[in-house]
Amino acid sequence: MSEISQDISREISPEQEVNQKTNTEDLKDVDIYVMPEKMIAQKEQKKSNKIIFIVIGIFLVIAIIGAVIFFVLNKKLKELPAKITNPLTENIGEPTTEGASINTEGQPGDVTAPTQEQVVPINTPTSTANLTPTTTEEIAAGLDSDKDGLTDEEEKLYKTDSLNPDTDSDGYLDGAETLSLYSPLSKGGKIDTSGLINIYINPVFKYSLFYPAGWIAQAIDQSNATIIFTSATGEFIESLVLENPQKLTTSNWYKEQSPDINLAETKKSKLGGQEAIEIIDKDNGQKIIYAAYKDKVYGLIYNYGTQEGLNFETTFGMMENSFKF
């Protein structure tokens, strides 16, 4: 210990010790300036406010850009033509095969929603069926080169061979299969899963029917009481709903509308499983089916106009057979 003390005493001389004390005392009289805390807080606050303003500015710019985009898109949407939507809300069920000789092999497919191409019909009609037809005489069908029940125009619709009466070689004529809701392109295949037809469901009056995929479906107005199915030739088939508040039978309702008509001359038919009457109005170029159901009368009208032959008689029958409430 004595040696260590001697070494320390050698390193610090008395003069140095006095100087150290003096320096320490001098430091007591020196003023040390420090920035006030409130000044520091103000600087930090200004920096924070600046960041907030920047963020607000960015949001304002984004909001302005968004508003401009919305305005432009909304303007373009308003310029688009109005579209009719007929949502498929339920399966149609099994198609009827009553009165037909067809192949029953194969499993029926599920009904799928059609691709809806909603555009304005080629010739939008302005009139509906006449309640007082001039005759019940049948009109001749259009040209049918292979005599299979499908006219040459219908062969184009259903993609069948106009020179082969049995395109799928299943032993049944193409026209008979189409009329019975079977596909003329595949053995035992149903027409509702063939891609050859679309399914229309009326969202207001709750009925459905098939129509060719190459045709256009369009409601006359928002009531959905009259629907037009238009072909490429200008001929069209019309479905309409009329009031029957007294819930009369089809014959009694029609007799009330046309007292002079002889009901014995009308042809008996069915529409949606209901008793129906079929009439021909040559003066107006129409083939008409009416069926009463609950407090309404449902009509299916083939408007062939001035055509000498019916290009879509089998298609009209297919639509009639597929009609369901």
In the chain, the amino acid numbered 91 is: N
CA distance 152 to 279: 25
From residue 275, alpha-carbon distances to 192, 241, 250, 268, 272 in Å are 24, 16, 7, 8, 9
Give me the chain's average pLDDT, please: 76
pLDDT at position 98 over 90: no
Q: What is the pLDDT of residue 196?
A: 97
Q: What is the pLDDT of residue 32?
A: 53
Q: What would the 3-class secondary structure string for 127-169 be?
A: CCCCCCCCECCCCCECCCCCCCCCCHHHHHHHCCCCCCCCCCC
- What average pLDDT score do residues 170-180 get? 96
Count of CA atoms in the C-beta half-sphere (13 A) of 101: 3
Cα-to-chain-centroid distance, residue 60: 38
Helix (H) or strand (E) holding 32: none
Q: What is the pLDDT of residue 49?
A: 74
Count of CA atoms in the C-beta half-sphere (13 A) of 109: 15
The pLDDT tens digits for 256-308 are: 988 888 888 789 999 999 999 998 888 889 999 999 999 999 999 999 988 77
CA distance 179 to 321: 7
Burial of 213 (0-12, 13-18, 19+ CB in 10 A): middle
pLDDT at position 94 over 70: no
Percent of the chain whose pLDDT exceeds 90: 48
Instruction: Answer whether 275's CB lies under 8 Å from 291's CB.
Output: yes
The pLDDT tens digits for 228-259 are: 999 988 899 999 999 999 999 999 999 998 88
The pLDDT tens digits for 181-233 are: 999 999 999 999 999 999 999 999 999 999 999 999 999 999 999 999 999 88
Q: What is the pLDDT of residue 80?
A: 40
pTM: 0.61
Q: What is the pLDDT of residue 87?
A: 30
Name the class of domain 152-322. alpha beta
Q: What is the pLDDT of residue 60?
A: 83
Q: What is the pLDDT of residue 230?
A: 95
Q: Is the Cα torsion angle 184, 189, 193, 194 positive or negative in sign?
A: negative
* Tokens, residue 79: 């310029």
Between residues 126 and 108, which one has the greater pLDDT? 126
Q: What is the pLDDT of residue 127?
A: 43
235: phi then psi, degrees, rounded to nearest 5:
-65, 150
Instruction: Answer whether 213's CB lies under 8 Å from 201's CB.
Output: no
212: phi then psi, degrees, rounded to nearest 5:
-60, 140
Q: What is the pLDDT of residue 298?
A: 98
Q: Which residue has the tokens 């809806």?
A: 116
Domain boundaries, the chain: 152-322
CA distance 254 to 259: 8
Q: Which residue has the tokens 């292979």?
A: 146
Instruction: Answer whether 281's CB lies under 8 Å from 129's CB.
Output: yes
CA distance 100 to 82: 41
